[in-house]
């Protein structure tokens, strides 16, 4: 049961907890420097989910002209399947929409069913595949787009 989940912009003090989650979560983990680049990013939004004073999730988008590019989204393994990933994505999309973005895109590993289901639930469609896109294991990337961000509303459940 999520009692105190809230989202706040990335701060320096979040980074060590994020790096711990990132190691467990991402086959090609972002470096500390990559996260630091997201601090106060002029054309980005990067949010951290906090539940009971612990970092449980993080994710970001870059605002590119009128497109919101999702750069990363992760929920700590012990906190999954409680709706946190969906709430995080909804926060990111709401903020991107408020910043004037009219569509959103992302790449996801073709075998990452959980993430693909999440993005489909939010309204993204699969539009292309990039063969062998990921250098660590040559896995294909699925390219997904949400075209109507300007009129987008979060799913009801």
Looking at beta carbons, which residue is closest to ligand COA? 85
Closest to ligand COA by CB, 25 vs 105, is 25
Catalytic residue among 22, 38, 91, 107: 107
Minimum distance, C-beta of residue 47 to ligand COA, in the bound complex (Å): 13
Burial group, residue 28, by CB count within 10 angstroms (0-12, 13-18, 19+): exposed
Catalytic residue among 119, 124, 139, 147: 119
Residue 24 is among the residues annotated as catalytic for this protein = no
Bridge partners (DSSP) of residue 64 are: 67
- Report the alpha-carbon distance of residue 141 to residue 34 in Å, rounded: 21
Give the footprint of ligand COA on this chain (CB under 6 A): 25, 73-75, 80-86, 108, 112-115, 117-118, 121, 157
Q: Are residues 104 and 74 in contact, defined by beta-carbon separation less than 8 angstroms?
A: no
Closest to ligand COA by CB, 41 vs 121, is 121
Q: Let me know how many helices (H) and strands (E) the chain has, helices first.
A: 4, 7
The residues that are catalytic are 107, 119
């Amino acid at each position: 049961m999520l009692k105190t989940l809230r989202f706040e912009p990335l701060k320096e003090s979040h980074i060590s907890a994020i790096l711990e989650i990132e190691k467990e979560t991402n086959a090609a983990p972002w470096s500390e420097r990559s996260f630091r680049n997201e601090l106060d990013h002029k054309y980005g939004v990067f949010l951290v989910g906090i539940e009971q004073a612990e970092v449980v999730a993080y994710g970001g988008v870059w605002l590119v002209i009128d497109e919101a590019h999702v750069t990363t989204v992760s929920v700590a393994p012990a906190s999954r399947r409680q709706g946190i990933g969906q709430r995080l994505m909804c926060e990111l999309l709401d903020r991107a929409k408020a910043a004037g973005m009219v569509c959103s895109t992302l790449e996801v590993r073709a075998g990452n069913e959980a993430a693909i289901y999440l993005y489909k639930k939010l309204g993204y469609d699969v539009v292309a595949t990039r063969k062998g896109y990921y250098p660590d294991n040559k896995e294909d990337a699925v390219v997904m787009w949400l075209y109507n961000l300007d009129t987008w509303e979060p799913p009801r459940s």
